[in-house]
Amino acid sequence: MLLFPNKKGLNAIILTVFTVAAMLFLTECRRGKMQEETTATKTRPAVIGYVGGFHGLLNTGNIEANKLTHINYAFVDIKDGKAFLTNEKTDSTNFRKLNLLKQQNPDLKILISIGGWAWSENFSDAVLTDAARRTFAKSSVAIIKKYNLDGVDIDWEYPGMPGEEGNIFRPDDKQNYTLMFQAIRNELDVLEDEVGKKKLLTTAVAGFAEFLKTTEMEKAQQYLDFVNLMTYDLFQGDTVVHHAGLYPTDIYKTAKSADNAVKAFNAAGVPMEKLVMGIPFYGRKFTVAKMEKGLGQIRTKQEYIDGYTYIKDSLVNKKGYQEYRDEVAKAPYLLNATTGEVLSYDDEQSVREKCKYVLDKKLGGVMFWEYDSDPKKYLLNEIDKALK
């Protein structure tokens, strides 16, 4: 039998219908806005700059926000299984100042980067069980919620293999690495529904194929917006190398290069549009006992040279250093015959080559370590011209 509601019941039904319709409309509006944000981001290749919060208070006045699409704040530590700000007073000030950069570039995204070379020792324990992963994911997302940031970047160096001496790693990391991203993505989805804005999840990965043996990148990538290839520090035992060559050189035998990393990660299931090529704004200096050809020799010493502004202004064809270019690797290097030193780095020309590669291969973009290593912005200006 068909029953008709009385007037009071009919009003209640109408009110319920309108309420549900309004909720559905708002949900679709949020989804549409998030889709627009994602599409807008993808129309231009990403330019992701890592900034070193571990240095202390940032000089954000030196950051040209219009030349960046994303800033990754390095680094957030892990303590007692949770993402942890080691100096919250400084970090909170830095977050506030970074968010102010959106006045210059409203599309700029600010992410926290968790881990890094020095703070990856606790990842394995933090994501060992379902409960642990939920705790870690909630604590990570709680930071970006509290400070109105745009996402989480994971820089685990490395799951399932040694990183810094003393780091914990285990075979279980392979699967737990994937499950960690799933847990974080779940928490980010909840936050997206709350605030109506897209929240990002990215990761920095080793720029060599061995990393693929201890991870499940085809599975992990489905939760990720970008996979940032650290295509630098491509060391090879005690051999003097191009630490960031675009292609393998023919001067010495090697399988390590940015091109080989891109091919390997894509073959492992990561779409080209999610792959981001890493560019070093610093150099690596090797010392040999007796200078012969430099590259391919056995080194006696290696050190970090910070950064490109210093290299360009003070070392290129100065102080006994002679500049050379490897046309196969598309990489510059300096030799000092007197001191037995070889300096490997990226310059404007090699950066142009890498940006052209990114465009030709339709990669997600470029990222660089780190912003303050090139205060005169020689390399950032080149990236901006090539990709904008």
Give the whole-angstrom CA distance, residue 333 versus residue 63. Answer: 28
pLDDT of residue 157: 98
Catalytic residue among 37, 88, 157, 164: 157
In the numeric block, the tokens 């990669």 are attached to 363
Look at residues 106, 70, 67, 104 and name the one whose alpha carbon lies nearest to residue 385. 67
Tokens read off for 79: 């303590």
Give the tens place of pLDDT for each residue, 19-67.
545 454 544 555 554 554 444 445 789 999 999 999 999 999 999 999 9
Q: What is the pTM of this model?
A: 0.90
**Length reported for the chain:** 388
Per-residue pLDDT of the chain (388 residues), as tens digits, is 344 455 555 455 555 545 545 454 544 555 554 554 444 445 789 999 999 999 999 999 999 999 999 999 999 999 999 999 999 999 999 999 999 999 999 999 999 999 999 999 999 999 999 999 999 999 999 999 999 999 999 999 999 999 999 999 999 999 999 999 999 999 999 999 999 999 999 999 999 999 999 999 999 999 999 999 999 999 999 999 999 999 999 999 999 999 999 999 999 999 999 999 999 999 999 999 999 999 999 999 999 999 999 999 999 999 999 999 999 999 999 999 999 999 999 999 999 999 999 999 999 999 999 999 999 999 999 999 999 8
137-167 CB burial, b ≥16 within 10 A, e <16:
bbbbbebbbebebbbbbbbbbbbbbebeeeb
292 is catalytic: no
Residue 332 CA to chain centroid, in angstroms?
24
Burial of 365 (0-12, 13-18, 19+ CB in 10 A): buried
Angle at 377 between CA 86 and CA 346, to 5 degrees: 90
Going by C-alpha positions, the residue among 280, 234, 263, 268 that lies closest to residue 363 is: 263
Of the candidates 279, 280, 277, the one whose C-alpha atom is nearest the C-alpha of residue 363 is 277
Choose which CATH entry (2.40.440.10, 3.10.450.50, 3.90.1150.10, 3.20.20.80) describes domain 40-280+346-387.
Answer: 3.20.20.80
Cα separation of 94 and 25, whole Å? 37
Rg from Cα positions in the chain: 24
User: Does the CA dihedral 278-281-283-284 come out positive or negative?
Assistant: negative
Report the C-alpha gap between 242 and 231 in whole angstroms.
11
